[in-house]
Chains A and B, each alone.
Chain A
Amino acid sequence: GAGVSQSPSNKVTEKGKDVELRCDPISGHTALYWYRQRLGQGLEFLIYFQGNSAPDKSGLPSDRFSAERTGESVSTLTIQRTQQEDSAVYLCASSFDRRTEAFFGQGTRLTVV
């Protein structure tokens, strides 16, 4: 596709439920990032995929969070047993390689009620 695509754009879920967020990066981009942005806050790094290397999961806030990426395509971020503090916009970005600029999707706005 022309840009990074994320789905859903909005998700409201009940506390305790699991959610899955999807990111379709720009075709050919080897690097993929997930960030979390709480209201009025900066971008918090979650996880980084680069080609076939092991992902950098150092930003995942708890073991309720996990992410996968299939080759150099789609990535899914899963949050299990959601909590209210998980409410945020989850942004995905991709870049051609490790040193080039990253392009963002429009984000998934997650609200846990």
Chain B
Amino acid sequence: RKEVEQDPGPFNVPEGATVAFNCTYSNSASQSFFWYRQDCRKEPKLLMSVYSSGNEDGRFTAQLNRASQYISLLIRDSKLSDSATYLCVAEGPGTYKYIFGTGTRLKVLA
């Protein structure tokens, strides 16, 4: 089992749609979780941290389910500018380095 797994997509959605991504992780001791956004040929940039109680930032909501070992990202009212690859991050075993999922590609269509 991969340490962090994501559905690669692509997810093609119309503007204004709500879309959700899930990401599973294998290290049950992981304490830190993040979502990053990566645009084509650019470096990843932090979208939001994921807290145990769940957190929201504008149109974006992140949640953590420890029992099932997954994190989720919900994007409401999708914009064309949301088109990107979304990477989830959890801590790996041992030294707790950050392990990235392979990313989920989102394309928002006009």
Is the CB–CB distance between A107 and B34 below 8 Å? no
Is the CB–CB distance between B101 and A48 below 8 Å? no
Closest-CB distance, A69 to chain B (whole angstroms):
14
Is the CB–CB distance between A107 and B98 below 8 Å? no
Closest-CB distance, B100 to chain A (whole angstroms):
4
Is the CB–CB distance between A43 and B34 below 8 Å? no
Contacts of A50 in B (CB 8 A): 95
Please tell me if A42 contacts chain B, counting CB pairs below 8 Å: yes
A-B contact pairs, 12 of them (CB 8 A): A33-B97, A41-B102, A42-B100, A43-B100, A45-B97, A45-B98, A45-B99, A45-B100, A48-B95, A93-B98, A101-B46, A104-B43
A46 and chain B: residue at smallest CB distance: B97
For the side of the interface on A, what is the size category? 20 to 34
Please tell me if A105 contacts chain B, counting CB pairs below 8 Å: yes
B46: contacting residue among A42, A45, A103, CB under 8 A: A103
A101: contacting residue among B49, B99, B100, B101, CB under 8 A: B49
Bits for A79-113, please: 1 = Cβ < 8 Å to B, else 0. Answer: 00000000000010101001111111111000000
Please tell me if B58 contacts chain A, counting CB pairs below 8 Å: no
For the side of the interface on B, what is the size category? 20 to 34
Bits for A38-77, please: 1 = Cβ < 8 Å to B, else 0. Answer: 0001110100101001001010000000000000000000
List residues of A whose CB falls within 8 A of some B CB.
Answer: 33, 35, 41-43, 45, 48, 50, 53, 56, 58, 91, 93, 95, 98-107
CA A18 to CA B23, docked complex, whole Å:
37
Please tell me if B61 contacts chain A, counting CB pairs below 8 Å: no
CA A84 to CA B97, docked complex, whole Å:
28
Is the CB–CB distance between A42 and B87 below 8 Å? yes
Most chain A beta-carbon contacts within 10 A, residue among B34, B45, B96: B96
Is the CB–CB distance between A98 and B96 below 8 Å? yes
Closest-CB distance, B105 to chain A (whole angstroms):
10
Most chain A beta-carbon contacts within 10 A, residue among B43, B92, B98, B100: B43
B101: contacting residue among A42, A103, A107, CB under 8 A: A42
